Structure 1
C-alpha cells in the first residue's frame, strides 16, 4: 500500500495510514536518528551495552531489506525490554531520550509482529515529543508552543518526518530503499535532538 500524501493531514494522521513494510521503514529511519541518544546515555552512565540496541535495529533493517530473513523478534524484544532505563534511577536528563528510544524500538518490533499496528505512530510521536522535551529542558525561561514549533530542532524534526513520508510514497520495498533511508537518517550527522553521531 502506497502513502497518499495530503497536505491537510498532519504528520501523525499520515503515519497512521502507513501499512506493513512502509510503516516499519518509517519507524526504522526515526530509530536511526534516536539511537545516538541511547548510546550516549549508556556511555555516560554505564547503564547497559548499547550494542544490543544497535543489533536489534540492524535486525529490523535486515527484515526490511531481505523479506525472507528469519529473525526471532520475540527474542529481540526481550533483549530490548531488559535494557530500558528507569528515570527514577538517574538524575541526568539523558535518561529521557534513552527511554524514548527504548519504547520506540519495542513499538517497532511489536509492529513487525503484528501486535501493535499503530507502532509507527508511537515512534513518530515519541521522536517529536523527545525533541519538544529537549527544547523545554534546555531553555532557561518558559517557552511557548509557538516558540517550540519555530525552534530549529523541531522544524528539522517535522521536515525530516515529512521528507520521509514523501520518500516512502515513491520508493520500492527493497534493500536499495533501505540504504537510502539510512542515509536520510544520518545525513546531518546528528541525532534528533542534535547530538553528534
Structure 2
C-alpha cells in the first residue's frame, strides 16, 4: 500500500473509526507537543492532554456528551505560533495541536475529512523532521525510503487493518492506546514520558 493508498483508505473511515484513527495518531504525536512545551515553557501540557483524554473517553463511551466547542477553544488557546519561536520543535507541536483541532471538527461534523488531515499532518511532520535532521539533501524517494517514514507508513497501515476488525468501546480504545505508545517513542522517534 503506497502513501497515496493510505490516504485513500483513511478517507473511507467513518464515525467512530475515523475518530479512533485520528486519536491514535495524535497519541503518537503528543510527546512532540510535550517536549516543545517543556523546553520552552510555552503552555501547560495538561490542557492538550485533557482534550485528547476527552476524545479517548468519547471513543470509549460514544453516547457521552462532550462540549466540543469548548474543547476546540482550549486547543486553540494552546496552539503555538511559529513566528514566536526560532526552534524547530514548534512545528511538530503545531502539527499535534492542529491534528487535535481537526479531530474535534470531525467529531462535530464540521470536517468529515478530519482523519485524512491528521494522517497527512503526521506523515508531514515525519517528512519535515527527516529533512531538518538529514546531513544530506533528500529527494522524495530518499524521504520515502527513510526508516522513520517507512515506520510511519507501516504504522498507519497497521492501524487501518486493526480498525477494520473493531466495533468500538473500552477494550478497543485500550488496544489503540497501547498500540500508539508501545514503542515508547513518538512518530519522530522522540522518547515518551512513561507517566
Same fold (TM over 0.5): yes
Partners of 2:151 and 2:102 lie apart in 1 by 23
Task: Note the alpha carbon deviations across 1:41-61, whole angstroms, 9 max, x for none.
Answer: 000000111111100000000
Query: What does residue 97 of structure 2 align with?
Result: 102
Match 2:40 to one of 42, 45, 51: 45
Q: Answer yes or no: is 1:183 the counterpart of 2:151.
A: no
Runs of 5+ consecutive residues of structure 2 not aligned to the other structure: none
Q: CA deviation at 1:180?
A: 0.2
- Alignment length, in residue pairs? 191
Which 4+ stretches in 1 moved above 3 angstroms?
none
**Structure 1 spans left out of the alignment, 5+ residues:** 1-6
TM-score, structure 2 as length reference: 0.96
Give the deviation of 1:140 after TM superposition. Answer: 2.2
Shift of 1:135: 0.2
Query: What SS does the aligned partner of 2:29 have?
Result: helix
Q: In angstroms, what is the RMSD of aligned CA positions?
A: 1.0
CA displacement 1:61-82 (0-9 Å, x = unmatched) = 0000012212111101001001
Cα distance in 2 for residues equivalent to 1:140 and 1:87: 24
Q: Which residue of 2 aligns with 1:160?
A: 155
> Which residue of structure 2 aligns with residue 117 of structure 1?
112
How is 1:1-197 mapped onto 2 (pairs within 5 angstroms)? 7=1, 10-197=5-192
Mapped partners of 1:113, 1:70: distance in 2? 11
Counterparts of 1:91 and 1:167 in 2: how far apart (Å)? Answer: 39
| Cα distance in 2, alignment partners of residues 172 and 17 from structure 1 | 16
TM-score, normalization: structure 1? 0.95
1:3 alignment partner in structure 2: none
CA distance in 1, matches of 2:164, 2:74: 32
Deviates most, 144-153 or 38-47: 144-153
The separation in 2 between residues aligned to 1:120 and 1:68, in whole angstroms, is 20
